[in-house]
Amino acid sequence: MTVWAELVGQQPVVETLQAAVASAGGDGRSMTHAWLFTGPPGSGRSNAARAFAAALQCEDGGCGQCHSCSTVAAGSHPDVTLINTDGLSIGVDAVREYVRAAALRPAVGRWQILIVEDADRLTDQAANALLKAIEEPTAHAIWMLCAPALEDVVITIRSRCRPVLLRTPPVADIARLLVERDGVEPELATAAAAASQGHIGRARGLARDPEARERRRTVLRIPSSLRTVADCLQAAQQVVDEATLRANDRAETLEQRELDDLKQSWGVEDRGRRPAGYSGALSSLEKEQKRRRTRLVRDAIDAVLLDLLALCRDVVSVQCGTGAPLINADVADEVERLAGLWTTESTIRTIDAIVRCREDLAANAALPLTLEHMMLELRR
């Protein structure tokens, strides 16, 4: 299996990157020192960058079996650096370190490759530091940036990168990957692929985690459960509580590791004295961790809203008799029931209410109040 196997439904992208790999060992006309991978969430932006990096380091253009391919896949290749963040941003100090690393000659490979998985989270200062490295590249350095859209990266950087646009993978291709790679039953793989709406990571999570599937079914039952005002308030609070719980579970492990790393870097012992400056560093870390928890909660809530939008899309599709495949085919009976209970106009109003809720939350509106308002709109 080659390094390109997991780029589901991205054949035009694979052909472009393969041509660049072949060119890198020849005339170089299809190769450049800076690339920008964009595409919707779950389309495989970072996977494409990693596959490209492995193919460039591989003697056979990405065989998937050699030492170079396996170490890039494992994240341990000495000449392929992955730059990502669990926080809100990538700061200038970190980028300067990576810029210095890009100037070094490769240790074992042919290229010094740096993959910025969250290029949309670069601070202005970090972007300026990266810009200089891209403007004046060394002969052996290749930068690969990943972001949801071109507009998410400052124009001075994106104008100097070759864009690679990934599309939303087809359901059939995602299902086939789940069957072949993860051994998922075909029926379950198809249902998970459809419910994921093109997000490969989420499809795998739904296929392998019964609790994730049950959480999704609980979300899809919300519109039917809103009979009274109390139901609306309770549903809103339940969404917030569930999102907070999941965010905290995910954050706690990260935060403990970050705290241990901070103590180690400052030489701090549990019962020892604190060096001058440590308190400030600890305070900055705690503030960043708090911001990350807030983002994780809002991301989890947005996933709930996307599931509700998908349900409404299926309902209006049935009401209009489009014959289009259902996103939520595993709950087709519920979709049919809602299509009979609601009018087309009320379904459209429900969609509008969910979209407004997403927009308000993106503008940092208060979580409970915004969700309560949306639930009341759904009840009407």
Question: Model pTM?
Answer: 0.81
Does pLDDT of 25 surpass 80? Answer: no
Return d(Cα 33, Cα 30) in angstroms, integer.
Answer: 11
Mean pLDDT for 309-323 is: 95
Does pLDDT of 122 surpass 80? Answer: yes
Write down the pLDDT at residue 222. 94
Write down the pLDDT at residue 87. 66
Strands 162-165 and 141-147: unpaired
Q: Number of folded domains in the chain?
A: 3
Does pLDDT of 8 surpass 80? Answer: yes
DSSP 97-145: HHHHHHTSPPSSSS-EEEEETTGGGB-HHHHHHHHHHHHS--TTEEEEE
Going 116 to 120 to 126 to 127, the CA torsion angle's sign is: positive
CATH number of residue 46's parent domain: 3.40.50.300
Residue 197 and residue 309 in one domain: no
Residue 375 and residue 272 in one domain: yes
Beta-sheet strands, E only, within 122-266: 141-147, 162-165
Q: Is residue 1 part of a domain?
A: no
Q: Residue 94 corresponds to which amino acid?
A: A
Length of the chain: 380
Percentage of residues of the chain with pLDDT beyond 90: 70
Write down the pLDDT at residue 86. 67
Mean pLDDT computed over every residue of the chain: 91
**Residue 175, domain extent:** 171-208
Judge contact between 234 and 226, C-beta under 8 A: no
116: left (phi over 0), alpha (psi -120 to 50) or beta: beta
The residue to which tokens 């996307």 are assigned: 306
Q: Is residue 87 part of a domain?
A: yes
Q: Is residue 5 part of a domain?
A: no
SS3 percent helix, strand, coil of the chain, rounded to 5, is: 65, 5, 30
User: Where would I find the H helices in 267-342?
Assistant: 278-320, 332-341
**What are the φ/ψ torsions at residue 108 (nearest 5 degrees)?**
-130, -25
If one compares 270 and 171, the residue with the highest pLDDT of the two is 171
